[in-house]
A and B are shown apart, each in its own frame.
Chain A
Amino acid sequence: MSLNLRLLVLLAGTALPFAVFAQAAAPERQLNIIAIGMFVVFVVISLGITFWAARRTRSTSDFLAAGGRISGFQNGLAITGDWVSSAALMGIAALIYSTGFDGLIYSVVPFGAWPLMMFLMADRLRNLGKYTIADIVSVRFSRIPMRTLISLSSLVFVVGYLIVQMVGAGTLISNLFGIDYTVAQVIIGILIVLYVAFGGMIATTYVQLVKATLLLSGASFICFAALFHFDWSVDGLYASAISNHPQGMKIMQPGGLLTEPVSAFSCGLMLLLGGAAMPHVLMRFFTVPDARQARLSVFYAASFIGYFYLLTFVIGYAAIAMVMKDPRFLDANGLITGGANMAAIHLSEAVGGSFFLGFISAVAFATIVAVVAGLTIAGASAISHDLYANIFRHGRATDDQVVKVSRISAVCLGAFGVVLGIAFKDQNIAYMITIPFTVSSSVFFPILFLSMYWRGLTTRGAVTGGAVGLGLGVILLFLGPTIWGEILGHGEGIFPYKYPALFTIIASFLTMIVVSKLDNSPRARRERAEFDDQFVRSQTGVGAEAPAQH
C-alpha cells in the first residue's frame, strides 16, 4: 500500500487496521474480558444518552440538527469525534513506528483543512444552512436539480465511507476483543440504529462527545505516561527511540516521501478541499445556534484535533522506545505481534498494564460506533430532508413525516452497512476511501465555494460541473491503477494516477464557470441578482435558521 493511500486511510479512520489485520489474520483469539466489560459500560451510558435524547426529539429540527441548541464547545468536541478515530491513533503510531519522520508528515498535512474551513466557510455555512449542505445552495438556486445532485452525491460519499469503516471495524474489533467478525458487525449495526433512529442528532452528538473525550484522555494518558517513563524528557525519549530503531537517526529525518509530484499534489489537494467539505462534518454547523458558535466550534475542533496530532509526535516514538525491544510484544521472529498497527495498542499495555489495554480497546470500539453513527445521520438527512421532503413532496411534508422517514432511513442504512460489511469481508477495500474524498473535493467543495463567493454561478453551471466532477471521478478511479490495474488484473491503469482529484477538481470548477457564463436563461439572471441578498444573509445572519424554541 502506498504511503499516500495510507494517509487517506488514516484520515478516514479505521481502514488501516483492516489492511494490516487482514494480512496478520490472528489465528488464536482470546476473549478480552476487561475490554468487553468496559465497552458494556460505554454501551449502557450511550443508551442512557439515547433514551434522554429521544425524549427531547420532537421535530425535524431536533432530529436532524439537535434543535440548533448545541454549544460551540460541545460541537467542537463532536466534530473532533467525527474527525479523529482510534484508528487514526493506531495508524499514525504505526507509520511513525515503521518510518519515523515520514509518519509525522501524516499528522501534519490533513490538518490543513481546518483553518481553510474556518476562514472561508464556517460563518457563511451556518448563516445559509438548515439541516444539510443542499440547503446552503438552495438559497438562490433551483431546488430540484441542486438537491438531486447533492443528495445523491452525499449518499455516494456516505456509502463509500461506510464500507471502509464497517470492514475496518469488524476486523479491528474481532482482533481486539476476540469476538467473531460477523458478531462485531451486527453489534455496530444495532447500536447505530438505536442511537440514530431514536435519539437522532442529539444522541449522535452526545455519543460523539463522550467518545472524543475518552479518546483524547486515552491518548493523553499514553503520551504522558510514556514521558513520565523518560523523566519528562522528550529528548530522552527520542534518544531511546533512535537507539532502538534499525534506521537510527533517520527516524528523525524526512526520507523518500513526496517523490512523485503529481500524485503527491493531487492527494494533498484532495485532502485539503475534500476534508473541508465533508457532509457529515458540515452538517454539524447547523446544530449550533448562530455563526458565532459555529466559529467557536471550528476553533475548539481545531484545538482538540491539533492537540491530538501533537500527542502522536510523542506516542509514535514512544512505541519505538518502549515496544520495539520488549519481548512481551514480539513474535518468534522478533517482529511486533499483530503488525505495526498494534504499536499504539501494545504501548498502552506497556504504560498502563492490561487494565489500560482494555480501556483503549473499548475506546476503539466506541470510536467506530460513533463515527458510523455520524455517517448514518448524514445519509438519513440526505434521504429524508433532501430527497423525500424537498424533492418528492415539494416541501409539503409535515414534521412528523420527515422524522419518520429519517428513522426508517437510519434503520435501512444501518442494515445496509452491516450487509456491506459482511459482503466486503476479507477484501482489500482500502482504496475505496478515495471515492468519498474525490466526491467531496470535486462536487461539494466547488459548488459550496462558488455559490458563496461568485455571483456568476447558476444552477445549470453548478449542476453540470458537479455532475462532471462526480462522473469523471468515478470513471478515472475505475480506469486507474488500483481498480483497472490491480483488481481487474490489467497490470496498469488506463489512467495513470491513483488520485484523480487534481483533474476532477479542475474539470468541475472549469465546467461550472464556463457553463454558468454561457447560461443566459431568465432563471440564471434571477439567480445572479439574488446573490446580493444571499451575500447579506451569509455575512450578517439575517434570515438565518434560528434555534428551535422549546
Chain B
Amino acid sequence: MDALYARISGNPAFHALQARRSRLAWTLCAGVLTAYYGFILMIAYAPDTFRKPLHADTSVTLGVVWGAAVVLVSVGLTGMYVWRANREFDRLNARILEEAHRAPLG
C-alpha cells in the first residue's frame, strides 16, 4: 500500500487533479459564504434595502427573495460540485489509479 501511495503521490496528474478539485471547492465556498454573509450583513446594516417590495403590485420584499435565493444558490452550488466531482474528477482519479496499479512494483 505504501508503495502505491508513493507512486500516486509522484504522479503529476494527481497533483493537477488535486489542485483543480481544491480550486473548485474553495471558489464555491467563497460563493456560498458571500451569499450568506451578504444576507446577514444586509439585515444588520442595510435593512431598508430589504424592506422594499419588488414592485408596486406585490408585497414580496427583496429580503424574502434574497432569503429564498440563498437556499437555492446553496443547493445549486452543492449540485455543481457533485456534477464536476462525479464526472470529471472521478474519471481523472480512475486514470491515476490505473496508472499506479499498472506500473511495475519496486
**Are B59 and A540 touching (Cβ within 8 A)?**
no
**Are B58 and A235 touching (Cβ within 8 A)?**
yes
Tell me, in angstroms, the Cα distance from A105 to B26 when the chains sit together.
25
B13 to chain A, nearest CB (A): 11
Instruction: Spot the interface stretch: A30-38, A118-126, A185-193.
Output: A118-126
One digit per residue, 1 when the CB lies within 8 angstroms of any chain A CB and 0 when it does not, for chain B 68-104 equals 1011101101110110011000100100110010000
**Are A302 and B78 touching (Cβ within 8 A)?**
yes
Closest Cβ neighbor of B29 among chain A residues: A119
A309 within 8 Å of B (CB atoms): yes
**Are B79 and A310 touching (Cβ within 8 A)?**
no
Tell me, in angstroms, the Cα distance from A238 to B57 when the chains sit together.
12
Closest Cβ neighbor of A118 among chain B residues: B78
**Are B96 and A111 touching (Cβ within 8 A)?**
no
Q: Number of contacting residues on B, CB 8 A?
A: 52
**Are A302 and B74 touching (Cβ within 8 A)?**
yes
**Are A254 and B60 touching (Cβ within 8 A)?**
no
Most chain B CB within a 10 A radius of its CB, from A123, A242, A249, A296: A123
Counting contact residues on chain A (CB < 8 A from B), the size range is 35 or more
Tell me, in angstroms, the Cα distance from A268 to B5 when the chains sit together.
39
A165 within 8 Å of B (CB atoms): no
B8, B59, B64, B68: the one within 8 Å of A239 (CB): B59
Known: A115-B77, A119-B81, A296-B82. A253 touches B63 (CB 8 A): yes
A107, A112, A119, A120: the one within 8 Å of B67 (CB): A107
Within B36-79, the residues touching A (CB, 8 Å) are: 36, 39-40, 43-44, 47, 50-51, 53, 57-61, 63-64, 67-68, 70-72, 74-75, 77-79
Closest Cβ neighbor of A104 among chain B residues: B67
Known: A111-B74, A119-B25. A258 touches B43 (CB 8 A): yes
A17 to chain B, nearest CB (A): 24
A77 within 8 Å of B (CB atoms): no
Tell me, in angstroms, the Cα distance from A119 to B29 when the chains sit together.
7
- Chain A residue numbers with a CB within 8 Å of B36 are 108-109, 112
**Are B70 and A108 touching (Cβ within 8 A)?**
yes
- Chain A residue numbers with a CB within 8 Å of B47 are 253-254
**Are B39 and A108 touching (Cβ within 8 A)?**
yes
A211 within 8 Å of B (CB atoms): no
Known: A104-B67, A107-B67, A252-B64. A541 touches B93 (CB 8 A): yes
B69 to chain A, nearest CB (A): 10
Tell me, in angstroms, the Cα distance from A299 to B93 when the chains sit together.
20
One digit per residue, 1 when the CB lies within 8 angstroms of any chain B CB and 0 when it does not, for chain A 230-270 equals 00001100110010000001001110011001001000100
- Chain A residue numbers with a CB within 8 Å of B6 are 532
- Chain B residue numbers with a CB within 8 Å of A108 are 36, 39, 67, 70-71
Tell me, in angstroms, the Cα distance from A302 to B72 when the chains sit together.
10
Known: A108-B39, A115-B29. A532 touches B9 (CB 8 A): yes
**Are A542 and B50 touching (Cβ within 8 A)?**
no
B8, B32, B59: the one within 8 Å of A252 (CB): B59
Tell me, in angstroms, the Cα distance from A309 to B8 when the chains sit together.
42
Within B1-42, the residues touching A (CB, 8 Å) are: 1-2, 4-6, 8-9, 14, 17-18, 21, 25-26, 28-29, 32-33, 36, 39-40
Most chain B CB within a 10 A radius of its CB, from A235, A298, A535, A540: A540
One digit per residue, 1 when the CB lies within 8 angstroms of any chain B CB and 0 when it does not, for chain A 526-550 equals 0000001101110111110000000
B101 to chain A, nearest CB (A): 9
A292 within 8 Å of B (CB atoms): yes
**Are B61 and A253 touching (Cβ within 8 A)?**
yes
**Are B86 and A292 touching (Cβ within 8 A)?**
yes
**Are B32 and A115 touching (Cβ within 8 A)?**
yes
B8, B25, B59, B93: the one within 8 Å of A242 (CB): B59
Tell me, in angstroms, the Cα distance from A112 to B68 when the chains sit together.
13
- Chain B residue numbers with a CB within 8 Å of A302 are 74-75, 78
Within A65-117, the residues touching B (CB, 8 Å) are: 101, 104-105, 107-109, 111-112, 114-116
Known: A292-B86, A298-B78. A540 touches B60 (CB 8 A): no
Question: Which A-B residue pairs are the 6 nearest by beta carbons?
Answer: A253-B51, A119-B25, A115-B32, A306-B75, A533-B5, A254-B47
Q: What residues of chain B have their CB less than 8 Å away from a CB belonging to chain A?
A: 1-2, 4-6, 8-9, 14, 17-18, 21, 25-26, 28-29, 32-33, 36, 39-40, 43-44, 47, 50-51, 53, 57-61, 63-64, 67-68, 70-72, 74-75, 77-79, 81-82, 85-86, 90, 93, 96-97, 100
19 further interface pairs, Cβ-Cβ under 8 Å (given A123-B85, A264-B44, A542-B4): A109-B40, A111-B71, A118-B81, A119-B81, A120-B29, A235-B58, A261-B44, A268-B40, A295-B85, A295-B86, A303-B78, A306-B72, A306-B75, A310-B72, A313-B68, A533-B9, A539-B18, A539-B93, A540-B93
